[in-house]
Structure 1
């Protein structure tokens, strides 16, 4: 009886403390910082192999360690693309982050090589600065060939062609600085706290990063083919330390963003590269099993997939990587020569094309649905030629971006048809958004309102 009473008491105290923490966050007026954690590969895709280790298992265990730490802080909301040994298409990973209106997307991987290469590196989306970065991206992108219908979904993309990356980089340009800030914080923890060999912050054309509309990084935690490093990454100690380093970097990134002192990532100073791998890493090696757990609900905020706050460029502390290395682009690529302007966009009413809306009752109902096909810092004229032949277009300013929508209907079924049509035109990440009396609302609110009519 006493034991049962004690268990109830512990549960009650825990519940009250958790509720108090949630209330404190809510009363502070600061929304939870949404992090999408992506464990690379999974299921029938083992990822890189080396010394008998599986990338998919190690990446998952590191991700679960990151999530366990962040979930203890009520300021964070953690969403996983997978929590067990499941194969998830690359485009689905991006959709999970976009629909959750995430603040950050963090993808965790391991590398392999025929040489004795070792060390941890963090990538942001961009043109390959060298052949080595291109080869790493090719390996990670080759997973598309394991997906159903990849010919249609990734039509026109050739993993063997550097030119294919040019189109991938445009959508992420407005988030490049923030992505570099996070990547730099991660590398600092790897090199300064864990003394890992520093492979620095680099750019490469990873499809999984292209699919997201928020600051995003892909972490190569080390090389499974290196004897000591592979053993370290496969051990519980290594997975815990790497997960802690990444989680702490995310906390640091958020703190600097809220304080308005985030580094711009444009300095050329760098910290010295550690000479060797931690000698104790060969100890306590365990074949860490895959930890299975029920899938976290993939909640959809269905807002435009852009960060809640833009990080101001102010004081610039030391950065691990030089500006030339991070922001290097192909000199012969004319398509990427113009910089994307991220000026503050004044608030103004939504602009629409002159094409009349023909969907049934769209102007009569308080609730209407559209399909968001794009979010960009560029003010693109609403012409069908600029949107792959789509018409009935509209746009609205949001922070430093413009959101571009296709169609207008009060029928969710018709909106889904519009979404399918947009996907056929090449907008595979398009999604349905809702409005009430012209104001953007969540899909949850829209469906509740419609069901009560």
Structure 2
């Protein structure tokens, strides 16, 4: 009887400890310092990644159930080996690394999440090679990484698949993040992929590397650089972490409430050509837009100048155009933020899925 009571007390003690133990998350802002990462369209990967990571941490630090550690909180260079060591020494329950994607072509766009694996096919291997390439910036990298060659798709050293359970947990978390990208942010879902990433292989806990989108794509780079875009990303990643903990540990932590907002893109504009509804459809007048007059909805950019009639814009009226850098930006309406939110919804219903709000200058 005494043995039974002792067993019960011991079980309750272990259960109580498990309940009180904080869930440890290590947040890794990709690149930093002398390693800027991708640089396209006026954006720098290391700065966007750090901003988003700090926002994720701020959300999670409000929960007493979490213990958060950062690989970096400023613009400094941290070797991949040190990032992995931080995570392992911290005995983290989850490793989350945030990055931005890039391509030689401006066309690709969308978000993806990577977990450890040995696939080396096509564009995804190029992404893995780019993320691993930071190794060569470190002193004595050949000795540190035991011959690991980030440019060789056949390298095997240091690229073992993690234990099945850990890998499956990484996949579960990655799938959740991608679901939020698609359903809450309406970003193009490029899915979850297994890739040979050194920093994920060297960490002993479930981990993912999140590619927020392509800086090489003008529209997507603007989304990632905007305050609203960075806030949106941080909210859904933080929520995914909380839900992952609940599913894994059987806890009932209430996830953060999402407050997703359309980005406000501020860009300089001097002269705008507007359609004059009091004249024939193809006539135009030129007028300056006064600073601070409100907002507009940018629906497209084209190298071709189109006649400002509804037939050319899926039935939308009140179209304006600005000639910038040898191309033409087309806008739908103008007014207060509340008005433009309604106009934005209308534009998207008409097929302009990448439309966004800009401030008039």
Question: TM-score per shorter chain, which class?
Answer: 0.5 to 0.7
Q: Quick one: which of 33, 58, 64 aligns to 2:48?
A: 58
Residues 45/167 of structure 1: CA separation in 2 closer, same or farther (3 Å cut): closer
Question: Which residue in 2 is equivalent to 1:283?
Answer: 265
SS, match of residue 239 in structure 2? helix
Following TM superposition, by how much is the alpha carbon of 1:279 offset from its aligned partner in structure 2, in angstroms? 11
Tell me, yes or no, if the aligned pair for 2:232 and 2:261 is still in contact at 8 Å: no
Q: Which has the higher strand share?
A: 2
In 1: Cα distance, 2:33 partner to 2:222 partner: 22
In 1: Cα distance, 2:161 partner to 2:182 partner: 31
Question: Which residue in 2 is equivalent to 1:243?
Answer: 234
SS, match of residue 122 in structure 1? strand
In 2: Cα distance, 1:27 partner to 1:180 partner: 27
In 1: Cα distance, 2:117 partner to 2:264 partner: 35
Following TM superposition, by how much is the alpha carbon of 1:174 offset from its aligned partner in structure 2, in angstroms? 4.2
Following TM superposition, by how much is the alpha carbon of 1:162 offset from its aligned partner in structure 2, in angstroms? 2.4
CA RMSD of aligned residues (A): 2.4
Residues 279/90 of structure 1: CA separation in 2 closer, same or farther (3 Å cut): same
Tell me, yes or no, if the aligned pair for 1:40 and 1:59 is still in contact at 8 Å: yes
Note if 1:177 corresponds to 2:168: yes
Following TM superposition, by how much is the alpha carbon of 1:159 offset from its aligned partner in structure 2, in angstroms? 1.7
* Runs of 5+ consecutive residues of structure 1 not aligned to the other structure: 1-25, 262-277, 287-453
Tell me, yes or no, if the aligned pair for 1:235 and 1:285 is still in contact at 8 Å: no
Residues 281/169 of structure 1: CA separation in 2 closer, same or farther (3 Å cut): farther
Following TM superposition, by how much is the alpha carbon of 1:208 offset from its aligned partner in structure 2, in angstroms? 1.0
Deviation string 1:46-72 (CA, Å, 9 cap, x unpaired) is 001110110000000000010000000
SS, match of residue 74 in structure 1? coil
State how 1:24-43 maps to structure 2 within 5 Å. 29-43=19-33
Q: State the aligned residue count.
A: 246
Taking structure 1 as the reference length, the TM-score comes to 0.52
Following TM superposition, by how much is the alpha carbon of 1:158 offset from its aligned partner in structure 2, in angstroms? 1.6
Q: Quick one: which of 129, 135, 145 aligns to 2:126?
A: 135
Question: Which residue in 2 is equivalent to 1:114?
Answer: 104
Question: Which residue in 1 is equivalent to 2:39?
Answer: 49
Question: Which residue in 2 is equivalent to 1:146?
Answer: 137
In 2: Cα distance, 1:279 partner to 1:237 partner: 6
Deviation string 1:180-212 (CA, Å, 9 cap, x unpaired) is 011011111111101110010001111111110
Note if 1:75 corresponds to 2:65: yes
Question: Which residue in 1 is equivalent to 2:210?
Answer: 219
Residues 131/28 of structure 1: CA separation in 2 closer, same or farther (3 Å cut): closer
Deviates more, 1:101-110 or 1:157-166: 157-166
State how 1:33-432 maps to structure 2 within 5 Å. 33-115=23-105, 116-128=107-119, 130-165=121-156, 167-259=158-250, 281=263, 283-284=265-266
In 2: Cα distance, 1:118 partner to 1:165 partner: 30
Residues 207/285 of structure 1: CA separation in 2 closer, same or farther (3 Å cut): farther
Tell me, yes or no, if the aligned pair for 2:102 and 2:216 is still in contact at 8 Å: yes
Question: Which residue in 2 is equivalent to 1:366?
Answer: none
Taking structure 2 as the reference length, the TM-score comes to 0.64
Following TM superposition, by how much is the alpha carbon of 1:241 offset from its aligned partner in structure 2, in angstroms? 0.5
Following TM superposition, by how much is the alpha carbon of 1:96 offset from its aligned partner in structure 2, in angstroms? 0.5
Residues 285/122 of structure 1: CA separation in 2 closer, same or farther (3 Å cut): farther
Tell me, yes or no, if the aligned pair for 1:165 and 1:205 is still in contact at 8 Å: no
SS, match of residue 45 in structure 1? coil
Following TM superposition, by how much is the alpha carbon of 1:29 offset from its aligned partner in structure 2, in angstroms? 3.3
Deviation string 1:245-280 (CA, Å, 9 cap, x unpaired) is 10000011111112399xxxxxxxxxxxxxxxx995
Tell me, yes or no, if the aligned pair for 1:37 and 1:63 is still in contact at 8 Å: yes
In 1: Cα distance, 2:113 partner to 2:139 partner: 29
